[in-house]
Structure 1
Amino acid sequence: MEELTLRDYFSIVHRRKWLVIFTTIIFILAGVVINSFNSEQIYKTYTSLIVNETKNNNDLDNNQKYLDQKFMNTYSEIVKSKLVINEVKKNLNLDSSIKKLSESINVDVVSDTDVIKIEVVGNDPEQIARIANEISKVSMKHIKKMSDSKDITVIDKAQVPDLKTNLESDIKDIIIHGIIGLLVGSSIVFLLEHLDKRIKSPKDLEKKFNIPVIGVIQKVEENFMMDKNLNSFAAENYRNLMINIDAIQSRNGIKSVLITSFNPNEGNSLISTNIASTIARTKGKVLLIDGNLKKPKIHTYFKLKNDYGLSNVLNENIDYREVIYEDKSEKNLHVLTSGLPIFNSAELLSSRNMKDLLEEISKEYDTIIIDSPSVGGVTDSVALSTNVDGTILVCSAGETDIDDIKKGKELLDKVNANILGIILDKVIIKNDNYYKYYYNNYSYYNDRKEEKELV
């Protein structure tokens, strides 16, 4: 079980806050309905007695005062005694049992006074008033028999109550139902969190797979192009990612980088395009290669023809320079499309021809970005990973399953692929959510060996 911080707990609840709110409201409404079916109305009344010392008590010492307080407690017990209650029951000809009658009576000695307060509750306001007054009458008789030195009188006669006293109880019940609803809602949220195996934050990736998250990309439209949206927040994401990739390259002497994903439609083709465009703008000459020989996309972003490309270079020994396109908006960015689809793509991508091609291209270009199909879809990415310097994986926030990442990583590990890091894509970044916090605080490549932060 991974240790969760207070921020983690808050983030988990915040992601499903509407479920917690809905559950709490349901429980509150249930409490209201339950109370509404309780037709029995509860009333309350009381009477007060005061016990006075008949003799002059100016000279009473502390011990005498202690004894007086002890007597007051004794008198209150007499009021609640079966002797008194039974006599009240007979005098008023009540049908209630002694036990039930006793439960409706509460006797209290008012602190630091000689006053005894007798409180009676019930659903018949006139009857409880009679009971309270009869209790005070019978109690005075028995207390006077017990001590001749005491004078006891009624200071407040019980009145027939005209207000229902169960409102306070109803409010308490509703509050309790609300608290229960809040706890149940939170429990459901944490249960769903435990059962939900989708990646939700960069921390999930780093904890579970010990792979650095080198980029957090905001969710954008499918045809988002970095060079046309330079002032957007997503563009800033890509610039930050470029810094991290540049740090990886400079430390490890890497030129060719494979961009792949764990599942289809996770946006790795768009990310490959924008990474190449961003690097080409400031970091030298870049070649973007479409290594998806079955379902290519790169040519669509640049509105290029795809009659000739990588497949032709590998199959027909065509000079790659003849089929490379130069981007019109960025002179340092060149594009090698996939060419016509072929069936033996995995064999070509892992072939000696591919390895030789990358070695030759590396002499001319500072960075080579290669887009490829998902690891889980076909074997092309795994095959191609054996011929590149490093591989960057793309996964989608709230979509990619942890098990898919595990399986994809295992496939790459089997061929000793050099996994450089993970990009978390399709992130919804708001001012108050976890990703905003992550982007502001962890937008750098953290080399785990050197613990060096890039800004």
Structure 2
Amino acid sequence: MQTKTFNVYNEENKAVQDAYAMLTANIHLSGPESHYKSLALTSCKPSVGKTSIAISLAITMAGSGWKVLLVDGDMRKPVGGKRLGDNTLLGLSDYLAGQADLLDVLCNTNINNLTYLYGGENRQNPIGLLCSTRFEELNAWAREQYDFVIYDTPALSSVVDASLIAARVDATLLVVEIGQTSMDSLKPAKEQLEKVNANIMGVVLNKVKKNAYKKYFGAFDYFFDGSKFVNRSSRDRKKKSSS
């Protein structure tokens, strides 16, 4: 374990905390009996708040008493552009390249139960690393050691990395920013994930304004409506039967 301790900002807004608590509960309840353990968060395009959501979700899960590993899955982005980063640290890319042992790339945080795995040295083409047996070994080991493993991945429109990670985890959440993510980008993103047989758990909306989100869910069977995951076809049948 590296000696650096990351100070992770903990959101103090109660309404926001409640939203993440509800999301955490539904993730826990929506999977199989043992719940989904490894999750990928991705988006159609960059800068929609995906990393902030990944961090807040990890903090909320850790605060509920679960052991959580937060993994920076973007090995292409320079350290200066990251929310959590330090160019003195070893990270994911270093481990996958065989330049560091797994326990040597993990970092403590100021949040109890939360461990962080930094992306590591910037790699221009990490596809081979993500397809390696070392990534499979990391995912298997983390599933045994932690209750939840959260991968913060690049945007789907940028590189193929997110799809490669999504194909290897239990479930994927697609982060959408209201007013910034169009249907023209949402549907191809869904198709891209389906091509690698990713398990799309649902959509997480960021910067939501009431009644502004309904158009985003036409392409999905399930969506998170702020309190629970809803099966769209079941919901529509109930509406028809009651009318």
RMSD over aligned CA atoms reads 2.7
- CA offset at residue 352 of structure 1? 2.2
Structure with more of its chain in helix, by fraction: 1
The partner residue of 2:196 within 415, 424, 444 is 415
Matches within 5 A, 1:56-455: 227-229=10-12, 231-251=13-33, 253-295=35-77, 300-302=82-84, 304-305=86-87, 307-328=89-110, 330-428=111-209, 433-434=210-211, 442-446=226-230
**Aligned partners of 2:106 and 2:233: how far apart in 1?**
38
Mark the structure with the bigger radius of gyration.
Answer: 1
**Aligned partners of 1:400 and 1:337: how far apart in 2?**
27
- CA offset at residue 237 of structure 1? 1.5
CA shift in 2, pair 1:300/1:267, >3 Å: same
8 Å CA contact retained: 1:290, 1:298? no
CA shift in 2, pair 1:442/1:274, >3 Å: closer
- CA offset at residue 354 of structure 1? 0.7
CA shift in 2, pair 1:402/1:271, >3 Å: same
SS in 2 for 1:422: strand
TM-score, scaled to structure 1: 0.44
**Aligned partners of 1:255 and 1:270: how far apart in 2?**
20
- CA offset at residue 243 of structure 1? 1.2
CA deviation vs aligned residue, 1:354-388 (integer Å, no higher than 9, x gap): 11110011111010000010111111111111211
User: What fraction of aligned residue pairs are identical, expressed as a percent?
Assistant: 32
CA deviation vs aligned residue, 1:103-142 (integer Å, no higher than 9, x gap): xxxxxxxxxxxxxxxxxxxxxxxxxxxxxxxxxxxxxxxx
CA shift in 2, pair 1:302/1:378, >3 Å: closer
8 Å CA contact retained: 1:397, 1:424? yes
- CA offset at residue 435 of structure 1? 5.8
8 Å CA contact retained: 1:306, 1:337? no
CA shift in 2, pair 1:382/1:300, >3 Å: closer
8 Å CA contact retained: 1:326, 1:333? yes
Q: Which runs of 5+ in 1 are unaligned?
A: 1-224
CA deviation vs aligned residue, 1:293-329 (integer Å, no higher than 9, x gap): 111679954565553100000002522211211112x
Q: Which runs of 5+ in 2 are unaligned?
A: 1-7, 214-224, 236-243
**Aligned partners of 1:449 and 1:400: how far apart in 2?**
23
**Aligned partners of 1:374 and 1:412: how far apart in 2?**
12
- CA offset at residue 234 of structure 1? 1.8
Relative contact order, higher structure (CA 8 A, sep 6+): 2
TM-score, scaled to structure 2: 0.80
CA deviation vs aligned residue, 1:47-73 (integer Å, no higher than 9, x gap): xxxxxxxxxxxxxxxxxxxxxxxxxxx
SS in 2 for 1:264: coil
Aligned residues: 217
CA deviation vs aligned residue, 1:24-55 (integer Å, no higher than 9, x gap): xxxxxxxxxxxxxxxxxxxxxxxxxxxxxxxx
